[in-house]
Chain A
Amino acid sequence: MATISADRPEDWIELPQAEIYAIPLADQQRLQREALRGRFAQLVDRIPMLRQLAQEQHIIEITEIADIAPLLVPHSALKSYPMSFLENGRFDRLTQWLDGFTAYDLSGVDARGCDSIDDWLDLLDARTDVRVMHSTGTSGKLSFLPRGIPEMHKMVSGQRRQFDPWPGERPLLGVPIEAAPVIYTQYRHGGMAQHRLLPFLRDALFGGDEDMIIATNPTRFSADVASISGRLRVAESRGEAGMLKIAPRLMERREAFLRDQARSGEHWDAFFDRITGRWTGRTVSIMGHVPALHVLALEAGKRGLSGLFAADSFVAAGGGMKGHDLPESWRATVDHALGGAALVEGYGMTEIVAASRACGSGHYHIPAWHVPFLLDPASGESLPRTGTATGRYGAIDLNASTYWAGFLTGDEVTLHWGDTESCACGRIGPYLDKTIRRYTEKEGGDDKITCAGAPGAHDRALEFIVENTGASA
């Protein structure tokens, strides 16, 4: 087994599963403790947000893993900028805000000339090593995570590692990762995590061969369009004054987006031409989720296509139904179109470089570079790091060296710490049950009626986004 060092936790993700999940629990914890101490010391003076948080909590060094818990940042922090920065074209101030979250110095970036989020992302790409990842925005506001180029390479490693063999489990992909093209069920370009990953996969796995990346839509997913619903909603809630501020340029992009949507049939034709020309019946790697796979299957059906790929293809189908109501026949429709490859679930988040795939026993195993935390959802206190418990999930990704990757999710999970029981698959370390839900999902079903509230903005662009990215509104 390769030796691993607490000084370079970013190397751990390069270990095959057979090695990383074989590290004895006590060693995992010792390595994590030391690596966390190092990451904190290295970043606390370079990331203003972390410095402020550490000062507020009177934390000057990390001696135990649990010391990190008060330094976990809620994901809402990544959208704590005021939306008026966007409406007033203050991309200089948005840059200043983002500067608080990254170890890179963005003070030399002059964003005053930007007049849209897309422009701003392009500027940061051109001038810095930051690769900002934004959220879908359908819940109201885009969040921005300033990932750096070093972590982009770690995302590629994470993609590789999910296909490592494990005794007694069917390989997730029947061919070497370099031999399977990536089928992506969304836009080829954009600023969300997977859009960002695609060029790095292309260069690292396929020697830069763009033919190995096949997206269902070849165009760019505009961050400005993604931001529309939230901006309209805020504008509406501010009355006439707010509505007047929605920039004409934004509405132009929205119109362009809708025009492109009208051409989606052509995009599908071109997509299936690329598939049938070279990949029918062969092993591929599909990045998607169930609603998007269902749309793909329906489009295949319209064209009389079925059994598109080999059964040993990899189909990532995590993320649940994303709020969509699919017909009961969705599974049969998808299987018929794709050719029967298994649908593989996973648990991941933008803040962590790679998702965990369900093991043969149906658990999500957490690799040593991903340090889990479990908190009481009401008090925010850390729960004991032993046994099995349910609570709010937090994690820190030790790969991150350019931003603070300690995050608090809004997810309720059941976590087995791996000390009092272990999974039948044989992996050592903590693992999660598949039943994961958002705390913000409404209790009491959707039939609670109240007199307090305000209507949300409804926009056709938003509907398309929900349909096409599978984002939940």
Chain B
Amino acid sequence: MTGYRVPLIIRGEIIESGETEFGGRDPATRFRGPDVFDHLGKLPLSPPSAIADLHALPFEEILDYLVELGAWLDFGKNAHLQEALALTCKTSGLGEPILRSVYKNLGKVFDRAEMRQMADILIGIPFLEGWVRTRSEGASTSYVRAFGARALHVIAGNVPTISAITVMRNAIVRSDMIVKTPSNDPLTAAAIARTMIDMAPDHPITRHISVGYWKGGDERIESRLYQPAAVEKIVAWGGLASVRHISKYLQPGIDLITLDPKLSATIIGREAFADEATMRTCARRAALDVAVNNQQACLNARVIHVETGTDAAGLARANRFGELLYEAIQLLPVTLSNPVAALDPALAEEMEGLRFASALYRRIGGDGRGGVIVSQMDEPVEFSRLLSGRVANLVPVDSLDAAIGAVTAWTQTIGLYPDRLMHEIRDRLAIQGAQRLVTLGCATRRTIAGPQDGIEVLRRMCKWILNEVHSDDPTAIWPDRQQPAAAA
């Protein structure tokens, strides 16, 4: 029986009583806590106009609050985060050294300059602060302001940083937020909310965040919560797994923002194979894109198209590159990437099967330390979507057209080498579906001041309110309002 307890937090109130058990079949990752159903009456913001207090806060005060929160999220001193780490070590595919590093860096999400840049580029701070005149033609003037909403976030749990980003975004857009946590990370968002309560129990930002766990699909809860009377916007990570539960409650009045699961890829042009030294450097860059955070995130590379050619010499170059890539992955610092106890069982099964097709796929490694599969033809493995735990598939191609044709709507990031490819093929990649194009080796350095997955999440989290002022007289069309001179 596990000792982990997951509290329910409702706008500053911490509810710990309750013995409902959750989680998977592994006793080590099960946890207990209150049944959200018992507290459902308090969960939606009531009355909805209670969101007004957030809109009275100056933007700089919101930043002050978040910067201070960043300081309070000091892993060495914060018992809530330490507890979250202990559980996440058991539920996550990230090893403890990485998780420890992720938690230590959680506070960096709340960097003042970056948050200001994000708000300004993605929304425009004046729109958050008040009414902005957007149109002025003759007697007509329009003003627009971005208001917060009553939002519910179904978040992903593969990287704890998602919880911190969600809290930060919500505060910036002045929304009231209910976070539904996932079973693979039920504690990080709660730990941040508890830190907010420790820091400023009565602050409006603290008073507009609720965090709870219930099993996705629990109709007792979701049928009452996923209603326009309770929430206006639902931000759902996790694609079909989480959206399947939500979609049956959709109706006018609920705006669903989906952050679908994505996969990322790499395209390496022929220059990389000019000589051994260049190959080695590119292999190191590719290793970063594949293996940082153990390939648990959407932005990690999985299939790597290499323009080596597919003749015997080309395959030899691809195979050599595979060896260099495998070596580079093994030499990454443990705080960025580390071996895991075992690969995902479904992937491990597929990797085992490849032994029996050795003429078609060359396998390097393939255990908990990761691996590289070098296709001996211009096709990726059929199970490319399962690649994780630092396993990449190198696919030799004769021309980049094959690599571009393989890009789909769920290709998020594409690492490119050399940078000339940005200019040559970025439009084609985007038209095929790619959402982020980045210099090879930098795929895991994502700026928060940019769009995500092809959409402007922050703008969509706001309610955009239009105010029009017309100083001319619309009733002038009635005959009795005609000028006397005209009647004469």
A residues in contact (CB < 8 Å) with B: 49, 52-53, 73-84, 97, 100, 140-141, 230, 234, 236-242, 377-378, 408, 410, 439-440, 442-456
B residues neighboring A (CB under 8 Å):
22-26, 29, 91, 154-159, 162, 182-184, 215-217, 237-242, 259-263, 295-298, 300, 341-342, 345-346, 349-350, 352-358, 360, 368, 377, 379-380, 382-385, 388, 402, 405-408, 410, 432-433
Say yes or no: A80 contacts B156, CB within 8 Å.
no
- In contact, B183 and A454 (Cβ under 8 angstroms): no
Nearest Cβ on chain A to B377's Cβ, whole angstroms: 8
CB–CB B158/A80 < 8 A:
no
Q: Which residue of B lies closest to A392 (CB)?
A: B345
Give the distance to chain A from B397, nearest Cβ to Cβ, in Å. 11
CB distance from A241 to the nearest CB of B (A): 4
Indicate whether A444 sits within 8 Å of B215 (C-beta atoms), given known contacts A74-B353, A83-B382: no
* Cα distance A172–B447 in the bound complex, in angstroms: 66
Nearest-neighbor residue (CB-CB) of B342 within chain A:
A378
B281 to chain A: closest CB distance in Å?
Answer: 27
Shortest A211–chain B CB gap in Å is 42
Interchain CB contact under 8 A, A450 and B240: no
B405 touching A240 by the CB < 8 A rule?
yes
Interface centre among A49, A73, A238, A439 (most CB of B within 10 A): A238
Contact assessment for B385 and A237 in the assembled complex, using a CB-CB cutoff below 8 Å: yes
Q: A53-B355, A76-B352, A443-B29 are in contact. List 20 more A-B contacts (CB 8 A).
A: A73-B356, A76-B349, A76-B353, A77-B352, A77-B355, A238-B406, A377-B342, A444-B23, A444-B24, A444-B91, A444-B184, A445-B24, A447-B215, A449-B237, A451-B162, A452-B262, A452-B298, A453-B239, A454-B263, A455-B240
Known contacts: A240-B432, A449-B156, A452-B158. The answer to whether A82 contacts B382 by CB under 8 A is: yes
Shortest Cβ distance from residue A73 to the other chain B in the assembled complex, whole angstroms: 7
Flag if B382 contacts A451 (CB, 8 Å): no
Q: Name the residue among B22, B156, B352 with the largest chain A CB count within 10 angstroms.
A: B352
Of A80, A236, A238, A447, which contacts B380 at CB under 8 A?
A238
Shortest CB-to-CB span from B158 to chain A, Å, is 4
B183 touches A378 (CB 8 A): no
Cross-chain contact A450 with B405 (CB below 8 angstroms): no
User: Chain B residue with minimal CB distance to A79?
Assistant: B353
Structural contact, A447 and B156, CB atoms closer than 8 A: no
> Does B408 lie within 8 Å of A237, measured CB to CB?
yes
12 CB < 8 A contacts A-B: A49-B356, A76-B353, A82-B382, A442-B24, A445-B22, A449-B154, A449-B182, A450-B237, A451-B156, A451-B261, A455-B260, A455-B261
For the complex, what is the distance from the CA of A388 to the CA of B114, rounded to whole Å? 58
Bound-state CA distance A451–B159 (Å) is: 9
| From B22, B262, B384, contact of A237 by CB (8 A) | B384
Known: A410-B345, A451-B237. A100 touches B356 (CB 8 A): yes
- Smallest CB–CB gap between B135 and chain A, Å? 38
Given contacts A80-B353, A443-B24, whether A453 and B346 have CB atoms under 8 Å apart is: no
Instruction: Find chain B residues with CB under 8 A from A234 CB.
Output: 382
Complex contacts, A237 vs chain B, CB 8 Å? 380, 382, 384-385, 408
Given known pairs A73-B356, A241-B406, A442-B24, the reply for A448 and B184 (CB within 8 Å) is: yes
User: How far in angstroms is the closest Cβ of chain A from B27?
Assistant: 11
From B25, B296, B297, A443 is in contact (CB under 8 Å) with B25
Chain A, residue nearest B300 (CB): A452
* A447 to B, closest residue via Cβ: B183
Contacts of A52 in B (CB 8 A): 358
Chain A residues, CB < 8 A from B241: 446, 448-449
* Chain A, Cβ-Cβ closest to B352: A74
Q: B354 CB to closest chain A CB, in angstroms?
A: 6
Contacts of B238 in A (CB 8 A): 449-451
- 9 closest A-B pairs by beta carbon, nearest first, are A76-B353, A453-B261, A444-B24, A449-B238, A74-B352, A449-B182, A241-B405, A77-B356, A450-B158
Are B341 and A378 in touch, CB under 8 angstroms? yes
| Residue on A nearest B296 in the bound complex, by CB | A452
Residues of A within 8 A of B379 (CB): 82, 84, 238
Contact of A447 with B354 at beta-carbon distance under 8 Å, contacts A239-B408, A452-B298 already known: no
Flag if B354 contacts A450 (CB, 8 Å). no
Distance, CA A174 to CA B418, complexed state (A): 75
* Complexed CA–CA distance, A238 and B375 (Å): 14
How far apart are the CA atoms of A455 and B260 in the complex, in Å?
Answer: 8
* Shortest Cβ distance from B29 into A: residue: A444
Q: How far apart are the CA atoms of A239 and B263 in the complex, in Å? A: 13
A140 touches B23 (CB 8 A): no
Q: Are B353 and A450 in contact (CB under 8 A)?
A: no
Given A236-B408, A451-B259, A452-B263, also A141-B382 (CB < 8 A): yes
Query: How distant is the Cα of A100 from the Cα of B353 in the complex, in angstroms?
Result: 14
